[in-house]
Structure 1
Amino acid sequence: MTLRTLLLATALLAASSVSAFAQSDDVIAAPVLRANVTVSGDLVRIGDVIDNAGPSAQIAIYRAPDLGTTGTLPTSQVIAALRAHQVIGVDTRNIQEISVTRLARTLEAKEIELQIAHALEHHNGLGDAANISLTFDRTLEDLKLESSYTAAIQSSSVRFDPRNGRFDVTLAIANASVATPTRLRFSGTAVETIEAAVLARGIERNEVIKSSDVVIERRPKAEVGNDVASRDRVVGMQARRQLRAGQALKVADLAKPDLVQRDQTVTMIYETAGLYLTVRGKALEAGTEGDVVSVLNLQSKRTVTGTVIGRGQVSISIATPRPAAPDTTSSIAPDEPAAPVSLATNTNTPQVAPKTE
C-alpha cells in the first residue's frame, strides 16, 4: 500500500513538472540558430547568431571578420560557445555552418583621387579638377571604414606648391557614433593636363595630315603650352615642317594646305562684268587659299599675279581703266573775268618806228 502511494505521488509530480515546462515554453520561445549573420562592429555576440537570445544577447563570443569580408563558423563550434554561457536547447535547423559578414563603408581609390582633385581645383594656379593628374607617393588602394562612417568626405587641409607640383591633402570623414572625425592624409604631385592632338606617325614637311595620323592624349599643360591644336583643327592641315611621331601638335606647326603647287599647271580665270574667260597657266610659286601668286600665261608668255581660289585655280583681276581727268588748264569758271594775256617782248627783235606823214 505504501509502495502504491509512492508511485502515485511520483506520477503526479512528473505530470506537474511537464505542465510547468509547457507553461514556460509559452512565455519564452526556444533559441533558433541563424544561417547568415551580419554585424557592424568588431565583435560577434550571442544575439547575432541566434534568435530569442534573451538576457544573453549582448555577450560577445567571437571576433568579427575584417571590414567588408565574410567568414564561416561550424555549427558545432557555435553550439559549444553558446553552451559555455549556459545557452542550451538551441534549434540548429540542421544548419551545418553559419556565415558572418562584417559591414563596412568602402572608399574606392577612384573616389579618393576625385575628392583630392576637387580639393586642389583652382588652388595656387591649378585649373579644373577634371584636368588635374595626380601621382601619389604611396599606391592608392580602396579603403574600408566602419559602416558608421556615413558622412560626406570633406577636405580639412590643402597644400600645393606650384614650383615643384607637390601636394599634401587631408580628408575628414565624420562618424555617427564618434565625436572626432577620421582623418586621411595623402601626398604626391599634381599636374594640370590638357587634351592634345598627338601624331601617330612622322609627318614630312608640306604633307597634309589625315584623321588616321592623329590620336588624342592628355599632356601636361606646361609641356604643350597654350597654343595646343585640337583634333578638328589638325585634320586636313599641312605641316609647316617635319614632325615626329608622338609629338603634340601646336597651331604654329600647321598651315592651310597648298591648293596650288610650284610649277603646277593651273587654270587662270578672268572674270568681269559680262566676261568669263579661262586660260591655262603655270604657277611660279605655291600658295593656299587667299594667297597671291605669280602665274605664267602659257599663251601670251606673260607673267601675271592672281589670287588662289581653289585647287589648281587662280583668279586674275582685270584692271578697269579709270576715266581721264578733266583738263582744267584752259577752263574758265562761269561769271569769272578772264585774266589779261601778256605777250612776251623779244628785246633782240628790232623795233620799227611808226610811219609819219
Structure 2
Amino acid sequence: MMTRTAHSLVLAAALLASTAMSALAGDADTQIKAPVLRATVNVTGDIVRVGDLIENAGAAANIAVYRAPDLGTTGLLPTAQVIAALRNHQVIGVDVRDIKEVAVSRLARAIDAKEVSAAVAQALEHRNGLGDAASLSVSFDQPVQDLKFDASASGTLAPTSVRFDPRSGRFDVNFELGNGNGATPIKLRYTGVAVETVETVVLIRNVDRNEMIRSSDLQIERRPRAELAGGEPASRELAVGMQMRRAVRAGQALKTTDLAKPDLVQRDQTVTLIYQTAGIYLTTRGKALEAGTDGDVVSVLNLQSKRTVTGRVTGRGQVSVDIAVAKPAQTSEAVMPAPVAVASRLPASATPKAE
C-alpha cells in the first residue's frame, strides 16, 4: 500500500505537470496574439496611435505615434519608419508580414456643393409660394466649396432658420450639422437667390404667326416660371402639329396659349359645303370668308346660290351646314342649294296618242 507521504508526492507531481502544461498553453496563446502590422489604417481623429498601426497592441494601444493626415486624405509610411517609431515606445517583436509601407487614411464627412444646393432647396420648398424642391434653381452669393469634417459629424444638414423674399427671390438659410460624439454642432450659413423653374419646350428658330410647329423646331429645357408670365408651359406632345397664334422668336419658351389647332380652312379658299340632314346629303362649292380650325363656325359664300351661310369646319376644306337651322346672312330665307332642274320622262304607256 502507498503511504500517505507517497500519495502526496504523486499529487504534487500531477499538479506540477498541470501547471507546466498551462504555462505552455499560455505561451502558445501569446505567440498567436503577437503584435502584427496593418497594411492599411483608417483613423477618425487627428492622432494615429499604436493600436491603429498594429493588431494585438495590448497596453500600448493608446500611445500616440503620429499626427493623422488631412481630412479625407491618405498618407504612406515606410514600414522601417513605423517599426522604429514603435520601438521608441517599447513596442517590439512586431510581425511586418512583408509589408513595405503602411497607408494611413483619415476618414471624413464630405459635403459637396450639390448636397448644399439640395439642402437649401429642401429648406425653401413650398415657402412663400415656391414649388417643390426639385423645381428650384439655387444660386449662391459666394461659390460653395466642398467641405470636409471629422467623420463623427454624421448628422444631416438641419435648417435652423430660413428666410425668403418672394419679390427678390433672395434667401438666407442657416444650418446645423450634428456630431455623433456629442460635440457642439457645426453651424453653416448660405445666402443667394432661388428661382422656381418648369420644364417646357423652347423654339430653336423664329416662327411666324399661323405657322405650323414641327418636332425639329423644339427642344426641352427648364426655364424660370416667371418667363411664362403666369401661363402654363407647353409640352412637346401638345406643341407638335399645332399652329402659332403669334410670332415667337428662337429661344423663347412656349405657353399653351401660344398654340392653336391648325386651320383646316383658309380665308378665300374654295371649300366643299356639305348640307346634311336625315336622309339628305348634298354638296356644293363655296368660298371661305374666314379661316377656321376643326369645330370652328365660319362664314362661307355659296358659289351656286351666291348667298353667305355659316357652317362648322369638319375637315380640311370642308364646312358642314345644318339644313334645319342654316340661314343666309341678312335674310330669313332657308339655306339650300339651288334646285337642279330634272326632266322627267313619262312612261311609254302614258304617252298621249295623236288623234
Q: TM-score under structure 2 normalisation?
A: 0.78
- Residue 214 (structure 2) pairs with residue 244 (structure 1): no
Q: Secondary structure at the match of 2:319?
A: strand
Q: Secondary structure at the match of 2:300?
A: strand
Whether the 8 Å contact between 1:204 and 1:242 is mirrored in structure 2 is yes
Tell me the amino acid that sits aligned with residue 240 of structure 1: R
**Number of matched residues?**
301
- Residue 68 (structure 2) pairs with residue 64 (structure 1): yes
- The worse-fitting range, judged by mean Cα deviation, of 150-159 and 71-80 is 150-159
User: Displacement, 1:23?
Assistant: 9.1
Alignment partner, residue 286 of structure 2: 281
Alignment partner, residue 163 of structure 1: 167
Tell me the amino acid that sits aligned with residue 195 of structure 1: E
- 2:314 pairs, out of 297, 309, 312, with 309
Structure 1 pair 320–122 and aligned structure 2 pair: CA distance change class (3 A): closer
Q: Which runs of 5+ in 2 are unaligned?
A: 1-22, 327-355
- 1:177 pairs, out of 168, 177, 181, with 181
- 2:234 pairs, out of 230, 234, 238, with 230
- 1:294 pairs, out of 294, 299, 311, with 299
Q: Secondary structure at the match of 1:180?
A: coil
Whether the 8 Å contact between 1:210 and 1:235 is mirrored in structure 2 is yes
Structure 1: 4+ residue segments shifted above 6 A: 21-24
Percent identical: 63
User: What is the correspondence of 1:117-128 to structure 2 with a 5 Å cutoff?
Assistant: 117-128=121-132
Q: TM-score under structure 1 normalisation?
A: 0.78
CA distance in 1: counterparts of 2:41 and 2:264, whole angstroms: 77
CA distance in 2: counterparts of 1:203 and 1:218, whole angstroms: 20
Per-residue Cα deviation, 1:245-303 (whole angstroms, up to 9, x for no partner): 01112233222211101222211101011101122222232112222223233334443
Q: Secondary structure at the match of 1:93?
A: coil
- 2:105 pairs, out of 89, 98, 101, with 101
Whether the 8 Å contact between 1:166 and 1:188 is mirrored in structure 2 is yes
Tell me the amino acid that sits aligned with residue 91 of structure 1: D
Per-residue Cα deviation, 1:157-186 (whole angstroms, up to 9, x for no partner): 112222322211111121121342111211
User: Displacement, 1:55?
Assistant: 1.9
User: Displacement, 1:33?
Assistant: 1.1
CA distance in 2: counterparts of 1:60 and 1:316, whole angstroms: 99
- The worse-fitting range, judged by mean Cα deviation, of 147-156 and 69-78 is 147-156
Give me the CA root mean square deviation.
Answer: 2.3
User: Displacement, 1:27?
Assistant: 6.3
CA distance in 1: counterparts of 2:98 and 2:324, whole angstroms: 108
- 1:115 pairs, out of 116, 119, 138, with 119
Q: Secondary structure at the match of 2:267?
A: coil
Structure 1 pair 100–269 and aligned structure 2 pair: CA distance change class (3 A): same
CA distance in 1: counterparts of 2:166 and 2:136, whole angstroms: 13
Q: Which runs of 5+ in 1 are unaligned?
A: 1-20, 322-357
Q: Secondary structure at the match of 1:144?
A: strand
Tell me the amino acid that sits aligned with residue 308 of structure 1: V
- The worse-fitting range, judged by mean Cα deviation, of 70-79 and 85-94 is 85-94
- 1:78 pairs, out of 75, 82, 95, with 82
Whether the 8 Å contact between 2:227 and 2:253 is mirrored in structure 1 is no
